[in-house]
Structure 1
Amino acid sequence: MKNKHLVLLAFVAPAFLTYFVLLLIPTLGGFYYSFTDWNGLAKSYHFIGLDNFVEAVTDDPEFLHSIWFTLQFVIFMVIAQNVIALLLATLVESRQKTKGFFRTIFFMPNMVSLIISAFIWTFMFTQVLPQLAAKTGLLFLNQEWVGNPKAAFFSIVIVSLWHGVGYMMIIYLAALQGVPQSLREAAIIDGASPVQSLVHITLPMITHAFTICFFLTLNSSFKVFDVVYGLTGGGPGRATQVITMNIFEEAFSNNFRYGYASAKSALLFIMIMLFTFVQVFVMKKREVEA
């Protein structure tokens, strides 16, 4: 029995050490430095208590703007990504012969890193769409997609949806395939329309997939960085600056205020934890009710 435990420990140890060194220690260190004025380089620093947190929420308009912009992005992405992914999953699941083909096509964008996707779509927005608008007469395509604050928001959303919808679709597709076909056939025999069958039979039976997809979308949307960095750089000005980019600039661009940036990171962690806790609690309750 002792040897068995040692073998199990040997298998777990590499993953635990990796988690401990690369995630747990930096996280705890970040919380510690959030109470200091450390600049990330100096050997000495001072403990200043909650001053960084107070400044962030009361005397930093750029940080407050980034919070507001991030919340708008999160709400839009949670709704749009899950609705589109569910619709695509429903359509793909109904295609028996071409299911594998469409599943692969829709998932392929997720295989490209977000920063590369941002560079690809920058070319699309600045070069391809204007030419397409000139040739087709669709003038709404010819606009400052990354230079106009309102259009820049939707350009970020478009790229994020293009990249992430396929992954969520796979989760919903797996859940849909777990719904017994006999229930759907019984509903059709009873005279239920496809929409009624979807709303009253299919959706209640895949609430666990909603919990997973809402959780993943919520977390990824709050922590979005690379697509914004590669597409708009937080601009024009700071119109599309998200929380993570504001933290990045504070730590490495402005005055190397590492302690202050750590305090903002702690606030972001608390926000994500609270939103995630509420979301999981509500969705799990709906699962039980269903």
Structure 2
Amino acid sequence: MLVGIIAKRDNRRASFLAAEIRDSLREADVEVWLDEATADAHDESGHPVEEMADCDLAVSIGGDGTFLFAARNVGDTPILGVNLGEVGFLNAVGPEEAVSEVLSEVRALREGELPVREAPRLLATGDGWESEAAANEVVLQGRQRGHGGGVDVELRVDGSLFSSGRADGVLVATPTGSTAYNLSEGGPLVHPGSPSMVVNEMCAAEGMPPLVTDLDSEITIRLSGPDTGYVVSDGRAARELDLPTMVTVTTADDPVRIAGPEADFFEALNKLD
């Protein structure tokens, strides 16, 4: 059995917890890989995070950002999220229970009964390209936001016109991502168990309110204007777009697979106060 550990970069507490989990796993006769940054802090050789797609389980130690970093790289490997004392939406395991919970997941793996939950990802596609899959949101926007920026948008849901006009951009979020960028743009909170996505125009001149639609919906956005546009997945991996262009956002084939206990959604909401 092989377990990969990905700890928050440049965080001593995460690094020490990674070492504690590593030692406990090795005592249980489990092979362990540390990501390169964490391994460097402990004077041992590490592995690029992409290689942890070959692991049976990945352990993410840190906040939701660390979990998303792991999710972008480990493919369909189940991820167990460990927080550093503050309950996150994706990191339900506290530092005090981390070792026992990881060992519990290992026992379940050995018995072939590891339960996992699936969280959807979104994919944007255009003429000859596709975006990196996003666990939180896909954003389509103009060259810059605010006065003098933005793009002209024609937004369709399953082929039907939903809205059109000038906006800074369009954000399409998963239930997981509803508490992130979507929320700051005035979008609704969506329970993670809801099979849905949020379509949210960003600072539209005469737009529609945010829409919660079915997870299987096809969102088509036509962007036009004198400048270039961008598609951004989970706040990174921006791709420049020549305008005008048509972009389709759908659910990706491969969801994020989450191991371990489920976070209390309403408890985690308290951190937004």
TM-score past 0.5 threshold: no
More helix by share: 1
Say which one has the larger Rg: 1
Greater relative CO (CA pairs within 8 A, separation 6+): 1
